[in-house]
Structure 1
Amino acid sequence: MNMIAGFGKRCSVWLAIMGLFTSFCNAQINPVGIEKVDSLLAQHAKPILILLSTDWCQYCRMQKNQLRKNKDFAKKADLFYYVEFDAESKDDILFQGKSYTFKPTGKNTGTHELARTLNGPGTLAFPSWVLLDRNYQVLFRHGGVLTPVQLKKLLDAIGGMNP
């Protein structure tokens, strides 16, 4: 009986350590709020990788889930600010010194002005990716899910930018 109890205690300790390690790894890719980007850039300039998404978008959820499991993304997360922006957010947002608001398009629908601005001309698809340099210049836009190969190329390009 004691051997089984000892084994159970060791397993509990091991599971607790694994839980802490998993939390630590996931903490590395937690997105920053878009409203914080201006002040973060003022402290430490680096590129901004923005995922435009919505709550109802299944592909957005799939992409976010893939990111959480992507080891390259976690390893390179300190090279850029990662932002997940809800394109249907009702919050007023100050970004790059300009105020952006939600614009209704129907009774219960609409899009945030900032999502449209970041998306650029054309149809706003979800998910959409936007990479800005430290001066807010658009370096990359992509409407749709990034495959693991595409994401790796994007991360490699971000890694190659001058600090």
Structure 2
Amino acid sequence: MRWISLADAEAAARQSPRPVLIDLYTDWCGWCKVMDKRTYRNKNVISYLKEKFYTVKLDAETRSAVDWQGKKYPFNTQYKTNEIAMALTGGQLSYPTTVIIPAPGETPQPIPGYLAPNELELIVKYFGDGAYKRMPFPEFQKKFKSTW
């Protein structure tokens, strides 16, 4: 899997719009490591994400300020997390969280918890194939057939 920075994904999406997938993790999170090994090394996952998404790996506890959409997000000492993690998850911190930003300027869609390749497939194809523009997720989910 080729990961890029959030700033690079934002710039790339402005030039050539496509969804952004953010793997929001922490160094101490065991399920984050499992998702790295089982999901993000899966050949179907790698191939699809490479074609349809800009992929970002973001440490929720980075102490470095993170720039995104013209705003600087600092490390929050009270919550021991970077404020970008709170913004992307609507304050519902859980790791790992897969965050999908469907298009530049659209609301981040956080999906908390470990996702196996077939579980991730449902979500990334909903956004990557543009189905989110045409139908509600439950309707897509009913019709969806996993191939991974």
The CA distance in 1 between the partners of 2:126 and 2:90, in whole Å, is 21
Q: Are the equivalent residues in 2 in contact too, given 1:73–1:155 (CA < 8 A)?
A: no
For residue 39 of structure 2, give the secondary structure of its aligned residue in structure 1.
helix
Please tell me whether the aligned partners of residues 60 and 81 of structure 2 are also in contact (alpha carbons under 8 angstroms): yes
Residue identity opposite 1:110 in structure 2: K
Matched residue, 1:5: none
How well do the aligned residues superpose, as a CA RMSD in angstroms? 1.8
Say whether residues 1:54 and 2:23 are aligned partners.
no
Contact kept, 8 Å, 1:104 with 1:111, in 2: the verdict is yes
How far is the alpha carbon of 1:157 from its aligned partner? Answer: 1.6
For 1:104-143, list aligned pairs within 5 A: 104-105=77-78, 110-121=80-91, 123-138=92-107, 140-143=109-112
Tell me if 1:145 matches 2:114. Answer: yes
How far did residue 139 of structure 1 move?
Answer: 5.9
Counting aligned pairs with the same residue, the percent is 28
Highest CA radius of gyration, 1 or 2? 1
**C-alpha distance in 2 between matches for 1:117 and 1:98:** 11
Other structure's SS at 1:131 match: strand
Q: 4+ residue stretches of structure 1 with deviation over 6 A?
A: none
User: What is the Cα deviation at residue 75 of structure 1?
Assistant: 1.4
Is the contact between residue 128 and residue 144 of structure 1 (CA under 8 Å) also seen in structure 2? yes
* Deviations 1:47-82, CA, capped at 9 Å, x for gaps: 001111001111101111123321221111221111
| SS of aligned partner of 2:38 | helix
Query: What is residue 63 of structure 2 aligned with on the other side?
Result: 90
CA distance in 1, matches of 2:15, 2:34: 32
Contact between 2:99 and 2:109, CA under 8 Å: does it hold in 1? yes
- Under a length normalisation based on structure 2, what TM-score does the superposition of the two structures give? 0.79
Answer yes or no: is the 8 Å Cα contact 1:79–1:158 preserved in 2. Answer: no
Query: Is the 8 Å Cα contact of residues 74 and 82 (structure 2) preserved in structure 1?
Result: yes
**5+ residue gaps, structure 1:** 1-28
TM-score normalised by the chain length of structure 1: 0.73
Task: Report deviation, 1:145.
Answer: 0.5
CA deviation after TM superposition for structure 1 residue 36, in Å: 1.6
Q: Kindly provide the amino acid, as one letter, of the partner of residue 82 in structure 2.
A: H
Q: Where does residue 126 of structure 2 map in the other structure?
A: 157
Q: Is the 8 A contact 2:39 2:115 kept in 1?
A: no
Distance in 1 between the 2:9 and 2:104 partners? 12
Query: Which structure: greater helix fraction?
Result: 1
